[in-house]
Amino acid sequence: MRLDLFSEGDTVLLLGEGNFSFARCLYNHNLPISITATCFDDGESYKNQLDNIKFLRKKNIPVLLDVDATCVHEHPILKHQKFSKIIFNFPHVGGKMKIQLNRKLIKNVFESVTNLATDSGMMIMSLCNGQGGTAADNPQRKWDDSWQITEMAAYGNFCLISVHLFDFKNFESYVCTGYRSMDSHFNLHGALVHVFRKKTAQCRILNHDEILQRISLVPLFQNSDILVPFYYSELYSKSPLNNSDSAVNFFKELLIRNTGLDKTIICNNISLSLMWHSGVLCKVNNTEMRLRSSALQVLDEVIKRDLENQTVLFPGMFFNYSLGQDFDRTPPINFQFVACGKKISHNFGGFISDLMILFNKKDLEIKRKVIFPGEEIEAKEIHLFIPILNCSRIIEWSCSSSILAFELHVGNNENSLEVFIIYIDDIAELFLNIRSWKELWSEENRIFLNTETEPPMPTLQHSLLYPLSYKFDITLRYNEDTELIEEDVYEVMRKSAVDIIKEVEMINQYDSQEGWSSKCFRITYQSLNEPLNKKKVVDIHSNVIGKMLTTALPVTIK
């Protein structure tokens, strides 16, 4: 176990201590923390146990005996306390080949300690190599042959945030005994410390009024006249642009540093009148319009600024539409940054160079293609430039299969205006190895400098490791005179739980001779924000997804 897990002022609860040798080692490090040590038995079961208890009590460390870690929240003393760190080393029911019992043990422990943990408190559990069932085990066991620690932790609403080898050099006199066992030892070679953080539950069962709200159009933001599908409003309020540690802000700041000009103006708010274009359907004062889907639709507003000695940067959100059954790859809202100025192309080259150096992409090929008006253009959206601006030439910058930016030259002289449109989602996928848009939007995912790589490079730190996936089928029955459009089903599911649905697939269709038809959909659930367990997913599947579908569409659940 690493000592840097502990912070000044931590209140630490030790469970299942056995002989209390770990508690004694931890105390001897003289950390600025308070410790409470407990064990399951009466204090006379293990070798050296009494000596360690006497030592700890002499140092004014509370030692509690006969404490059952599976119902610690009912303990007459502990139930009134809160702890920032709760540690349980090598829990075990005793004996061999009792995987189900050990799962039940740690599940009950997580469910109990959640009542004692502070709002963002940590549960730290050490297991022998292979027991946890995560990819951190080497070798990794089959999930069914493991203790399934991440799912068991989810029952207490704890998510796994890190895993590391148990550093026994810090605890040389620690002798592991196990929980409810004899004075015997485990094979601790390759033992792993699993660090969990308590999370506030976000996924919950909706009441009828909440269901009606989700299937209706709602304001894009507070007091807005723009009415949009529910999930756009939810995402808009949680924009990564408002989080200084987010990957989106990281790329924005890097771009600003590379402008190379005296001043950069950040246009955070483009006039709302420019928000509707050929994108997502919305309503404004009962008039149907569409939200902007491309930075091309705000260029006229951006280039109105004085660009003589400065660059204008608009870090904008744009709205994708026709998402269909794509819940994971294409975001409902994407990020495109518009940079305008004179003679800024060399600065953009610096932006690319910085990216390649920071992320050690020395072998990455940067392509720069000059396109003149009238040529056949196949690149993403670039054909839209021609009718909008009188461009003398367009330069396409691309990297791998991702479009990094377009450079526009307006006018025929060297002082022409240069405009860059940078696709941040593409850049994040390329340099941060992001595979789902939800990785960018997860509120607690943040950029940090990973010093364990050579050279050190910025890395996206995930707030939840090894997220579990669950698949459940739902069959929708409808009358033969009713048309059930798959796109409508996907849209209702998106309004129901866009943040935890990873994939939806129609797997079967049946037309009966009795005047009804049915379609069966397979939904894959996965959350990057909060821990899921099978029971919670079943509740959401039946009481959120199912109810939303039967409320919004003329279907029944078979």
Instruction: Write the pLDDT tens digit of every residue in 76-85.
Output: 999 999 999 9
CATH of 3-198, one of 3.40.50.150, 3.40.47.10, 3.30.800.10, 3.90.550.10: 3.40.50.150
> Whose CA is closest to 61, among 36, 30, 87?
36
Backbone angles phi, psi at 144, to 5 degrees: -70, -15
Kindly report whether the global pTM for this prediction surpasses the value 0.85: yes
What's the alpha-carbon Rg for the chain, to the nearest Å? Answer: 28
**What letter does residue 156 receive in the DSSP assignment?**
T
Q: End-to-end alpha-carbon separation of the chain, Å?
A: 51
pLDDT in tens, 105-125: 999 999 999 999 999 999 999
Say how far apart CA 187 and CA 176 lie, in whole Å.
Answer: 10
Residue 275 has pLDDT above 50, yes or no: no
For CATH 3.40.50.150, the residue range(s) in the chain are 3-198
Structure tokens at 519: 């379609």
Look at strands 11-15 and 83-89 and give their pairing: parallel
For CATH 3.30.70.380, the residue range(s) in the chain are 470-557
For CATH 3.30.930.10, the residue range(s) in the chain are 238-460
**Domain 470-557 is found in CATH 3.30.70.380:** yes
Question: What angle is formed at CA 274 by the lines to CA 272 and CA 276, rounded to 5 degrees?
Answer: 95
> Whose CA is closest to 45, among 26, 75, 66?
66
pLDDT band at 178 (very low <50, low <70, confident <90, very high): low
The CATH superfamily assigned to 238-460 is Bira Bifunctional Protein; Domain 2 (3.30.930.10)
> Whose CA is closest to 41, among 148, 189, 181?
181
Backbone conformation region of residue 344, classed left if phi is above 0, alpha if psi is from -120 to 50, else beta:
alpha
pLDDT in tens, 193-249: 999 999 987 777 788 888 998 999 999 888 888 888 999 999 999 999 888 899 998
Lowest mean pLDDT among 90-94, 288-292, 525-529: 288-292
Per the CB < 8 A criterion, the answer to whether 349 and 357 are in contact is: no
3 state DSSP class of 250: helix
- The predicted model gives 437-448 an average pLDDT of 92
pLDDT at 379: 46
